[in-house]
Structures are given as structure tokens and as C-alpha cells.
């Protein structure tokens, strides 16, 4: 198990947010270990938290990112990103929403870990309702129920997890990479997976590149996961000005170039109205808002 705490220099950004607490000097924390992957079926009748955590626990995976598509759920419970009006947070969540008749989840990315010693899943998703309306948000996994079986995929670690801790800087309880105390298989010398937490005001692409450099990884797939950024600026010039936006990664990779490691992130962004905006993020112009939960899988290289 390889651990690292990084303190990259802050960048000036066009969009910024003020947090209630003092900035933590350690801006990125990561743990690396042998890769563990699993495919499994989300069972009908179970809430999504249990449908994910039960098979992953059986597979011996302690912390992971999970991805699933074309999943019918009913009922569907969710939140959307929102501005904070109490001065206690830089941004917050909307009131809870429910679609009693359910929706079809087009794409979802989730972080699997532990909260207060119990399984916990943090998930952002895009879905369509019965009228075909496309929307996105933060799913309430213990209240949303699988209506029809569907396949999910997970990438993670057996000897590390994402564990919730109170974060004074943002005044939220957030996931943090943590070593678990059970015995784990010895190193195989094969591909590694990295769990990381990126703090506010770090450019997302550049922070992911820094994680790779720290762990000596030259090529990686961004398997997950989810988090928030301050609006967005895309490579094609589009700009989303909203302060509070959540994202999930549709596709991402890190590869070597003549200018060093470069991260390519194709994301889906969800604004406070539930609208979905998709595209490739512009490097150096997209600061994290509250946090970003990252799962990297090392890839073979020349």
C-alpha cells in the first residue's frame, strides 16, 4: 500500500467560492494498492446502497468506484446542487425530490466506502423519466429501489476504502482514503488502483496528473468517480457560470505527451436546475468546489 499527501500550488481561477473554514494545507490525499475489479448484478427489490455494497463486500472489495447504465429504479429519490444561504457552506443541496413512478438511469457513477462503520455510497447520475425528460442529480441510495436487474462494474482496492470524516474547511462530512485493518493479499506486481480525495480550488485535470506523477503512473484510466466543480469551462469554449455544479466522469484517461502527463476528462455536469451539460473539460480552468473522489486504474504502457 502506497500513500501520498500532496500540496500543489493554488492557481488563479475565473470562478471561485469561499469556504467557511481555513484551507487544509494538504490539498490531495491518495492511496495506491493492487487493483481489484468486479462485475455484478444489481438485484431487483433492493435499495441501491445494499444492491451495491452486498456483492462488493462478498468480493472482498473495501473501497471502489461503481458504474452502471440503463437501470430502472422505482421509486427514485434525489437531490440537486444548490447555493447555500446560511453562510455555513460554499454550496449545498436542494430539498429532496421523489419520482414515485421511477426513472431509467442512463449513466451513474458512485463511490463505495464506509460511513460510521457501515456501507455508504455517494452517487451522481443522469436519468430519463416516463415522459423522456433528461435530468441529473445526487441520488439518495438508501431510498431508491432497483426495479429490474442490471449489471454494474466496480474498480477498487481490497485493503483501502473511502471513509467519511468531518472536514472543517468545507463544513461537510466527506469521503477520505483510508487503509482498512483486515488482512489483504500481498502485492502481485500487477496494475494498481489509486483512491484519492481532491480538495477545493485545485484544477481537476492537473490534480489528477499530479496523483499519477506521485505514484509513478504513466498511463491510467479515470474509472471514477464523482464530485463538484465551480461551473465549468469546456475545450470547445462553452462556459457554465453556475457556482454549484456536480459532475460525473463519462470517460477519462491520463497519458504521457511531449509536455508531460496530460489528463483528458469527458464529463457530465449537473446544474442547480437539474440540467445536464456534457463535454471535455479545459485543462487549468476548472477548480474543484467541495471535493472530488477519484479512482484511477493503472494501464499498461510502452
Q: How many other C-beta atoms can be found within 10 angstroms of the C-beta atom of residue 300?
A: 7
What residue spans define the domains of the chain?
A: 37-156
Task: Please tell me the predicted confidence (pLDDT) of residue 213.
Answer: 96
Which residues, in sequence order, are CB contacts of 183 under 8 Å at separation 6+? none
C-alpha grid cell for residue 254?
491520463
Which residues, in sequence order, are CB contacts of 118 under 8 Å at separation 6+? none
Decide if 111 contacts 52 (C-beta within 8 A): no
Decide if 197 contacts 29 (C-beta within 8 A): yes
Measuring CA to CA, how many Å separate 203 from each of 32, 174, 284, 288? Answer: 21, 19, 6, 6
C-alpha grid cell for residue 256?
504521457
Task: Please tell me the predicted confidence (pLDDT) of residue 184.
Answer: 53
Spans of the chain, pLDDT less than 70:
1-12, 181-190, 302
3-state secondary structure of 220: strand
Task: Please tell me the predicted confidence (pLDDT) of residue 237.
Answer: 96
Decide if 195 contacts 31 (C-beta within 8 A): yes
pLDDT tens figures, 226-239: 999 999 999 999 99
pLDDT tens figures, 239-298: 999 999 999 999 999 999 999 999 999 999 999 999 999 999 999 999 999 999 999 999
Decide if 58 contacts 36 (C-beta within 8 A): no
Decide if 221 contacts 65 (C-beta within 8 A): no
CA dihedral angle for residue 216, residue 174, residue 25, residue 200, rounded to 10 degrees: 90
Decide if 249 contacts 267 (C-beta within 8 A): yes
Q: Which CATH architecture has domain 37-156?
A: 2-Layer Sandwich (3.30)
Residue 139 C-alpha from the chain's centroid:
13
Give the burial class of 206: count Cβ atoms within 10 A of its Cβ; 0-12 exposed, 13-18 middle, 19 or more buried.
Answer: middle
CA distance 238 to 252: 19
Which residues, in sequence order, are CB contacts of 3 under 8 Å at separation 6+? 29, 30, 31, 32, 177, 179
Amino acid at each position: 500500500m502506497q500513500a501520498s499527501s500532496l500540496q500543489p500550488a493554488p492557481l488563479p481561477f475565473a470562478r471561485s467560492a469561499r469556504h467557511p473554514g481555513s484551507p487544509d494545507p494538504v490539498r490531495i490525499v491518495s492511496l495506491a494498492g493492487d487493483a481489484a475489479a468486479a462485475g455484478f448484478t444489481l438485484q431487483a427489490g433492493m435499495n441501491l446502497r445494499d444492491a451495491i455494497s452486498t456483492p462488493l463486500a462478498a468480493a472482498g472489495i473495501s473501497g471502489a468506484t461503481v458504474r452502471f447504465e440503463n437501470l430502472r429504479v422505482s421509486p427514485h429519490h434525489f437531490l440537486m446542487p444548490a447555493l447555500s444561504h446560511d453562510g455555513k457552506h460554499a454550496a449545498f443541496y436542494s430539498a429532496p425530490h421523489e419520482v414515485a413512478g421511477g426513472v431509467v438511469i442512463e449513466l451513474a457513477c458512485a463511490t463505495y466506502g464506509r460511513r460510521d462503520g457501515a456501507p455508504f455510497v455517494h452517487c451522481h447520475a443522469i436519468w430519463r423519466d416516463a415522459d423522456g425528460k433528461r435530468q441529473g442529480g445526487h441520488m439518495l441510495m438508501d431510498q431508491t429501489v432497483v426495479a429490474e436487474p442490471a449489471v454494474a462494474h466496480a474498480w477498487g482496492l481490497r485493503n483501502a476504502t473511502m471513509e467519511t470524516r468531518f472536514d472543517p474547511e468545507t463544513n461537510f462530512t466527506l469521503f477520505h482514503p483510508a487503509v482498512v485493518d483486515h488482512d489483504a493479499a500481498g502485492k502481485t506486481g500487477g496494475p494498481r488502483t489509486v483512491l484519492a480525495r481532491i480538495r477545493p480550488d485545485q484544477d481537476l485535470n492537473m490534480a489528477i496528473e499530479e496523483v499519477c506523477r506521485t505514484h509513478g503512473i504513466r498511463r491510467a484510466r479515470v474509472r471514477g468517480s464523482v464530485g463538484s466543480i465551480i461551473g465549468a469551462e469546456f475545450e470547445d469554449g462553452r462556459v457554465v457560470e453556475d457556482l454549484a455544479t456536480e459532475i460525473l466522469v463519462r470517460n477519462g484517461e491520463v497519458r504521457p505527451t511531449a509536455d508531460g502527463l496530460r489528463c483528458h476528462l469527458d464529463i457530465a455536469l449537473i446544474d442547480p436546475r437539474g440540467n445536464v451539460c456534457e463535454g471535455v473539460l479545459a485543462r487549468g480552468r476548472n477548480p474543484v468546489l467541495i471535493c472530488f473522489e477519484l479512482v484511477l486504474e493503472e494501464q499498461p504502457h510502452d
